[in-house]
Amino acid sequence: MVISRSECETLDEQDPLRDFRDEFTLPPGVVYLLGNSLGALPRRTAARVAHAVESEWGLHLGASWNTAGWWDLPQTTGDRIAPLIGAGPGEVLAGDSTSVNIFKAVTAALPLRPGRRVIISDLDNFPTDRYVVEGAAAALGDYEIRDIGTADGALRLEEALGDDVAMVLLSQVDYRTGASHDVAAVTAQVQAAGALMVWDLCHSAGAVPVDVSAADFAIGCSYKYLNGGPGAPAYIYVASRHHDDVRNVISGWHGHAAPFDFEPHYRPADGVRRFASGSPPVLSYTALNASLDIWERVDLRALRAKSVALTSLFIDLVDELCPGLTLASPRDADRRGSQVSYRHSDGYPVVRALVDRGVIGDYREPDIIRFGFAPLYLRHVDAYDAATTFAEVLSKELWRDEQYQRRLTVT
Amino acid sequence: MVISRSECETLDEQDPLRDFRDEFTLPPGVVYLLGNSLGALPRRTAARVAHAVESEWGLHLGASWNTAGWWDLPQTTGDRIAPLIGAGPGEVLAGDSTSVNIFKAVTAALPLRPGRRVIISDLDNFPTDRYVVEGAAAALGDYEIRDIGTADGALRLEEALGDDVAMVLLSQVDYRTGASHDVAAVTAQVQAAGALMVWDLCHSAGAVPVDVSAADFAIGCSYKYLNGGPGAPAYIYVASRHHDDVRNVISGWHGHAAPFDFEPHYRPADGVRRFASGSPPVLSYTALNASLDIWERVDLRALRAKSVALTSLFIDLVDELCPGLTLASPRDADRRGSQVSYRHSDGYPVVRALVDRGVIGDYREPDIIRFGFAPLYLRHVDAYDAATTFAEVLSKELWRDEQYQRRLTVT
């Protein structure tokens, strides 16, 4: 073995982030490798949410729009996310879902490039990104979507860029393979072609270094590595240089310049606040803010170092224990997010057999087995245990058991 | 006095809905007349939310998308709201904010009437309705907004309707005055002109009878009379006869026909599910569903009778105790929601003086004092106590105290 379990224990003792694991509730007897899908529950969250329910809502009711800061949650929460993605104060607004924010970003970006009628979309991107681009383009009318991707025959970005391109939407980290873009280089390439760059940070923020400061827009969710809870508020980043020129087409009263003056017509608030629309789901913001308390203390460079260590360790072990298995993720850590994926034609039953043995990964069509490594609460021994269990399931072909073939409704 | 406090106590003893008050946590020593803004906390909500946090999320994590029904929350929650608004199963989807749902409804409605380029909007409507219509019209392009209203010189609906009108958006109950439209008559009038009718139910659902079954679209919030919690998921109703023809421009993966097939292009789900966009904020849905457990047991006719009784009692008492005060709400109960409003040029300090004495109403520009009567948890003695305190504040001019003149940030 490239490393022993006791050597992994030693690495965990030396881990500068080791104490963060105690901040989380994790199910007993489980190695949870789906922090890239739904982050674990911070221990402090339950009490914070209970306080919001029982005191802020139950006792103080509508006064809490002022006294508990409910009204400003989209901005205050956004300002806490900003340092995690390389944005400045006043450039990030938290709210709505990722899909709604993609819609806002696309419909805000396109009018900034009048005369350019092409949107570059990525066939490898998470489906909602592509689907929402289609809806936004159809709504605004007369736009062409030009697909790029890594599949054979698909256009590459450099081939697709031209003086007809208004904007490009890409994910920093691929949700299936974990492959990571060079954000600075791609942003520069897109902007050099006169187009606007919109980044999806769902699979990168909270796990790998993110710096959107040169980009035009970005969106992301907070329920994966940021541990904000199921369906927690998403966020939108709008570079401050665009603030005076952009419109939010979902022009609700929370984004109005003077919402309580009840003016007859819409007048956008200054700054990123104009991207607010309706009332914020306070309980979901409260859970997210409990998690952001933890993030304030995280050294993001140590986080990245641990992410690389865990994913590299897992890859090395699987290389040794499962020869011939196809790694879908980049072997070069510089090109990889905090996720390791493999290709297997029976990926679905393999994942079900793993889950049955306490290793929680997931499956994505057509043949991808995903393991997410959330560096805040995972240990080197978790990577070790996951790799040895994975090897056992594959070498003994435990996944051939009939019970694992049956599809569950949602995976 | 038209009625004594002890007579009010007798009415409360005879109230068929009296036991519902025990379902709610209400701040001690307060008459809460802002259920039309933020509904009170159901007692059962805290435990339900805690279970969602600690068990569904904390212990079961992503498996809860299946096992706890998270994935289907927009539909299952919508189906529980449907009977409260006269809609059928599969016609209501819960999610997003009211503003986002207005945007979805407007952008879905307009393409159903090609060639008609006018949207009728109501200057008396809650601002976000008007603001979002402006944003949606600008996004789709080449639409005219024709304003109606009750102000001197404003167009009336019958004057504004014509064969160029694509849709009309009105609120069933006016947020300032509590005046109520005849939904059936207005819907018929609009549809006879060939236009689509979209109702905003924010200030009616859960307080007055609602029947949108003849309408084309409706939207509403669940945090007012429905007691779903601050910023709880809103909802959209789409008449089933339109389901095959409408598009959701915010075409996210949750509204896809086969979301886990990860198809390259958007293909809408059948029925109202296509109006889903992104991941649902689960904790906020959980709070709403706790409240909907209560609503399943409410006799809506008894609810309406009590609403009329409470608001009429309050009006009668204020008539007697505050002669000369201008009632802004209709005196005819058939034309009134569950809210009573008065006009007062110093409305803001009056409300602050009332709040200081435990009567929680609010103020809306330019001169409206609002009292909402949530019939599920208010008593006749509450109406009595509120009226006598209101009379004391006005007759003794207690509102002139300097402390009440200062504006709070949000009211």
Q: Is B270 assigned a catalytic role?
A: no
What's the pLDDT at A2?
Answer: 87
Would you call A132 an interface residue with chain B, using a CB distance cutoff of 8 Å?
yes
pLDDT for A1: 79
Identify whether B200 is a catalytic site residue.
yes
Beta bridge mates, A327:
A342
Q: What is the pLDDT of residue A411?
A: 43
Q: Do A25 and B362 touch (CB under 8 A)?
A: no
Amino acid at the residue A181: H
295-314 in chain A: CB under 8 A from chain B = none
A235-285: pLDDT as tens digits: 999 999 999 999 999 999 999 999 989 899 999 999 999 999 999 999 999
Residue A410: pLDDT band (50, 70, 90) is low
Contact between A254 and B408 using a beta-carbon 8 Å cutoff: no
- A328-355 pLDDT, tens digit per residue, is 999 999 999 999 999 999 999 999 999 9
B306 catalytic residue (yes or no): no
* pLDDT score at B411: 43
Residues of chain B with pLDDT under 70: 409-411
For residues A35 and A41, the answer to whether their CB atoms sit within 8 Å is no
pLDDT in the model for residue A152: 85
Asked if B389 and B359 touch (Cβ cutoff 8 Å), the reply is yes
- What does the alpha-carbon distance between residue A30 and residue A375 come to, in Å, rounded to a whole number? 16
Q: pLDDT tens, B291-342?
A: 999 999 999 999 999 999 999 999 999 999 999 999 999 999 999 999 999 9
Angle, helix A127-140 to helix B127-140, in steps of 10 degrees: 80
| Phi, psi angles (nearest 5°) of residue A372 | -95, 140
A224 is catalytic: yes
Asked whether residue A67 is marked as a ligand-binding residue, the answer is no
Query: Are A166 and A110 a contacting pair, CB within 8 Å?
Result: yes
- Of all residues in chain B, the one with the smallest CA distance to A27 is B59
Q: Where is pLDDT greater, at B345 or A151?
A: B345
Q: pLDDT digit string (tens) for A278-309? A: 999 999 999 999 999 999 999 999 999 999 99
pLDDT above 70 covers a percentage of chain A that reads 99
pLDDT at B74: 98
**Inter-chain touch B64–A230, beta carbons under 8 Å:** yes
Instruction: Tell me if chain B has a CB within 8 Å of the CB of A388.
Output: no
Choosing from B126, B143, B175, B384, the catalytic residue is: B126
Let me know: does B273 contact B75? Beta carbons within 8 Å.
Answer: yes
CB contact (8 A) between residue B260 and residue A62: no
> What are the beta bridge partners of residue A118?
A144, A165
Hey, what domains does chain B have and what are their CATH numbers?
Answer: 5-43+299-404 (3.90.1150.10), 71-295 (3.40.640.10)
Cα B323 from Cα B321, distance rounded (Å): 6
The tokens 């906020």 sit on which residue?
A: B284
